[in-house]
Amino acid sequence: MQSFNPPRRILMGPGPSDVSPRVLAALARPTIGHLDPAFQDLMEEIKAGLSRLMNAPGYACVPLPAPGTAGMEAAIMNLLQPGERAVIAVNGAFGGRMADMAGRAGAEVVTVDHEWGQPVDAQRVEAVLAERPAKLLAFVHAETSTGALSDAHPLCAAAARHGALSIVDCVTSLGGVPVNAVGWGADVIYSGTQKCLSAPPGLSPIALSSRAQAAIAARTEKPRNWLFDFQLLMSYWGGEGGRTYHHTAPINALYGLHEALVVLFEEGLQAAFVRHARTHGALAAGVEALGLSFLVDAPHRLPQLNAVRVPDGVDEAAVRTHVLNAWGLEIGAGLGPLKGKVWRIGLMGASASDWHVRLCLTALADALNAQGNGADGRRALDAAEASLSRET
Ligand SMILES: Cc1ncc(COP(=O)(O)O)c(C=O)c1O
C-alpha cells in the first residue's frame, strides 16, 4: 500500500462541501484521550456552540458520532415505540428515508406525499394529524434531493396543536439558512457536518427539547439501538464532568467541528446566511443566462442546493464527467425520479463564494458547448457579476 493523496477537487455537489483549511488543520492536531479534562472542556464548548447555532437553549445538544442519517435514526428510534403512529411528510428522498426508518421502528407510518420539488404543505399535514392523531410528525426542512425549503414553523406548530412531537431534518439547512429550534417549537432537530458547516462528513449534531427528553424517559421499552440510545449516550455527553465511558468519541472529528463553529461565529450567522443568498442569486442569474431553468419555484428555493433541469438533447452524466475532468469540479446528479433530469449544484459553507459561482458557470458553459449546446459563458458570467454587484 501507499499513502493516499486525493485529487484536487472543488466540491459543489449536494455535500460534502469544501472544507476550510482552518478545519483541516484542526483535524490534524494531536489526539488526546476522550476522557481527558481538556477534551471535556472542548465537549462543553461544542454543546454550547450547537445550542447557539440551532437557537436551542434548554435543549440537549450533542454531536452524534456518525453522519446525518444517524441523527435521523436516533430521533426516530428514541421517540417511537412499536405500534405508535408517525406522520411523515415526504417531498423527496430524505422524507422517504424517514418513513422507511419509522416503519423499521415498528410504527404505523402515515405518509403525506408531495410532488418532488414542492415544499411541505402545512395545511395538508395538519388535516392528516387532525384525522389520525400521531406520536410524532417528521419532515425535512431543506430537501437536498430537490432543493426545496419548507416552512418549519407552521409544521411544528401543527404538530404541537395535535399533541405530536416534531422532528425536523436540518442536515442541509444548518448554517445556510436560519434554523430556530425555540422559535419553531421543534422537539428534535438534527443535522450533518458536511454541508453548510464545511467540516468533513461523520458527525450529526442533534438537539432534543425537554418534551422530547420526557417522552424518551417515559418509554416502556428500551430503544432497539444501543449506540444512539439517548439515555445511554447522555451518560457520556450530559452534565458537567463526571462522564462515564459509553463509546470512544471521534476525537479529531470533534476538533474539526469545533473549529467549523469558531469559523462560522467569527463570520456571524447572519452574514453567513446573506452570503449563501447572495451567491445563490448570482448562480441563478448565470444559470438562467445559460438558458437553463430551476426545478423549484423561486420562493421555495434553497440558496445552498440548486436543482437545475437538464435541457433536451444534453447528456446529464457527460456534463458531470466533463466538469470533473476538465475543471476538477464536482456537481451532483438527480436522485430517484429526478435521475438524469437535474444537476444538483451546492453552494454550501466554504463553497458559497463568488469564486465558486464563477468557476461553476464557466465549467458548465464549457461542458454544454462540448455537446454542441451553444451556451454563452460570457453572458452567464456577466449576469452573475451584475447580480453580485447589486447585492454588495
Ligand atoms: C436532507 C438530508 N437528510 C439526511 C441526509 C443523510 O445524511 P448523511 O449522508 O450524512 O448520512 C442527507 C444527506 O445528504 C440529507 O441531505
pLDDT for 241 equals 57
Here the CATH number for the domain that contains residue 335 is 3.90.1150.10
Which residue range(s) make up the domain with 128?
Answer: 21-265
Q: Are 259 and 276 members of one domain?
A: no
Distance 227 CA to ligand 1 centre (A): 19
Number of domains in the chain: 2
Contacts of 3 (CB under 8 A, 6+ apart): none
Model confidence, pTM: 0.98
Q: Domain end: 233, 265, 297, which one?
A: 265
Cα torsion 366, 368, 373, 377 to 10°: value is -40
Same domain flag for 136 and 278: no
Evaluate whether residue 8 is within a structural domain.
Answer: no
Residue 38 CA, ligand 1 centroid: distance in Å: 31
State the distance from the centre of ligand 1 to the C-alpha of 135, rounded, in angstroms.
23
Which one-letter amino acid corresponds to residue 17? S
Asked if residue 74 belongs to a domain, the reply is yes
Residue 142 and residue 32 share a domain: yes
Query: Which CATH number do you get for residue 33?
Result: 3.40.640.10
Q: Which atom of ligand 1 is nearest to the CA of 140?
A: 1
Q: Ligand 1 centroid vs 291 CA: distance in angstroms?
A: 30
How long, in residues, is the chain? 392
pLDDT given for residue 235 in this prediction: 86
Show which of 214, 232, 265 is a domain's final residue. 265
Q: Whose CA is nearest to atom 9 of ligand 1?
A: 68
Q: Are residues 115 and 254 in the same domain?
A: yes
How is residue 67 written as a grid cell? 453522519
List the 188-190 sheet strands across, edge first: 60-64, 204-208, 188-190, 165-169, 136-140, 85-90, 108-113
Q: Is residue 197 a contact partner of residue 327, using CB atoms and an 8 Å limit?
A: no
Residue with cell 461553476: 360
Q: Ligand 1: which of 143, 170, 172, 196 to mutate, most ligand atoms within 8 Å of CB?
A: 172
Question: 350-376, pLDDT tens digit by residue?
Answer: 999 999 999 999 999 999 999 999 899
Closest ligand 1 atom, residue 14 Cα: 14
Same domain, 140 and 73: yes
Query: For strand 60-64 and strand 204-208, is the pairing parallel, antiparallel, or unpaired?
Result: antiparallel
Which pLDDT belongs to residue 391? 72
Low-confidence ranges of the chain (pLDDT < 70): 239-242, 392
Give the pLDDT of residue 174.
98
Residues 108 and 226 in one domain: yes
Question: Which amino acid residue places its CA nearest to atom 16 of ligand 1?
Answer: 144
β 148-149/342-346 pair status? unpaired
Q: Which atom of ligand 1 is nearest to the CA of 70?
A: 11
Q: Do residues 172 and 203 share a domain?
A: yes
Q: Are 231 and 198 found together in one domain?
A: yes
Residue 4 lies in a domain: no
Ligand 1, pocket residues at CB < 6 Å: 14-15, 67-69, 72, 94, 140, 144, 169, 171-172, 192, 201
The rounded distance, in Å, linking the Cα atoms of 94 and 192 is 13
- For ligand 1, the distance from its centroid to the CA atom of residue 304, given in whole angstroms, is 14
Q: Residues with Cβ < 8 Å from 297, sequence gap 6 or more?
A: none
Distance 299 CA to ligand 1 centre (A): 23
Ligand 1: residue of 76, 94, 143, 195 to mutate (most ligand atoms within 8 A of CB) is 94
Confidence (pLDDT) at 340:
98
Whole-Å CA distances, 241 to 56, 226, 392:
21, 22, 46
Q: Is residue 3 part of a domain?
A: no
Ligand 1: centre distance to CA 138 (Å): 14
Distance in Å, CA 71 to ligand 1 centroid: 9
Do 310 and 192 share a structural domain? Answer: no
Q: Give a yes or no: residue 16 inside a domain.
A: no
Q: Which residue among 239, 265, 291 closes a domain?
A: 265
Looking at residue 171, what is its pLDDT? 98
Q: What is the DSSP string of 10-42?
A: EE-SSSPPPPPHHHHHHHTSPP--TTSHHHHHH
**Ligand 1 atom index nearest CA of 201:** 10
- Write down the residue that cell numbers 448565470 correspond to: 286
Q: 285 and 347 share a domain?
A: yes
Asked if the structure places residue 176 within a domain, the reply is yes
Task: Please report whether residue 14 resides in a domain.
Answer: no
Nearest CA to ligand 1 atom 8: 68
127 and 40 part of one domain: yes
Residues 251 and 136 occupy one common structural domain: yes
